[in-house]
Structure 1
Amino acid sequence: MMETVVIDLFPLHTVLFPYQVIPLQIFEPRYLNMISRCFEQSQSFGICLIEEGTEVGPPAIPHKTGTSAQIISLRSLAEDKIFVFARGERRFLIRKLLQEQPYIRVEVEWIDPELPSFPGDYAHLKVCIENLLKKLPQQNLKIPQNDNQIFGLVSALLSGLRNEKQELLQLNADEIVPQMIEILERTTTS
Structure 2
Amino acid sequence: MTVPLFPLNSIVLPGGRIPLQLFEPRYLDMLTRCMKDGIGFVVVLLRDGAETGAVARFHPVGTYVRITDFQQLGNGLLGITVEGESKVAITRSWRQPDGLNMGEVEVLSEEAYAPVPETYAELTSVLVALCRHPVIQDLDMTVDYADARQVGWRLTELLPLDKQEKQRLVELRDPVERLSRLQELLEALESG
- What's the TM-score once normalised by structure 2's chain length? 0.78
* Larger strand percent: 1
% identical aligned pairs: 28
CA distance change for structure 1 residues 149 and 173 in 2, over 3 Å: closer, same or farther?
closer
Residue in 2 that maps onto 1:183? 185
Match of 1:57, SS state, is coil
* Contiguous gaps of at least 5 residues in structure 2: none
Structural RMSD (CA): 3.1
Structure 1 runs (4+) greater than 4 angstroms displaced: 131-134, 139-142
User: Are the counterparts in 2 of residues 64 and 94 from structure 1 also a CA contact under 8 Å?
Assistant: yes
CA distance change for structure 1 residues 178 and 42 in 2, over 3 Å: closer, same or farther?
farther
User: Are the counterparts in 2 of residues 119 and 177 from structure 1 also a CA contact under 8 Å?
Assistant: no
1:170 shift after superposition: 0.9
In 2: Cα distance, 1:21 partner to 1:152 partner: 9
User: Are the counterparts in 2 of residues 122 and 177 from structure 1 also a CA contact under 8 Å?
Assistant: no
1:24 shift after superposition: 0.3
Q: Please give the per-residue CA displacement for 1:130-168, whole angstroms capped at 9, x wherever unaligned.
A: 36998x9xx6678x752365433542223x421111110
User: Are the counterparts in 2 of residues 129 and 184 from structure 1 also a CA contact under 8 Å?
Assistant: no
Residue in 2 that maps onto 1:146? 144
Residue in 2 that maps onto 1:41? 37
User: Are the counterparts in 2 of residues 26 and 32 from structure 1 also a CA contact under 8 Å?
Assistant: yes
In 2: Cα distance, 1:36 partner to 1:81 partner: 15
Match of 1:24, SS state, is strand
- What's the TM-score once normalised by structure 1's chain length? 0.78
Read off the aligned partner of 1:35 and give its amino acid letter.
L
CA distance change for structure 1 residues 176 and 100 in 2, over 3 Å: closer, same or farther?
farther
1:21-36 equivalences in 2 (<5 Å): 21-36=17-32
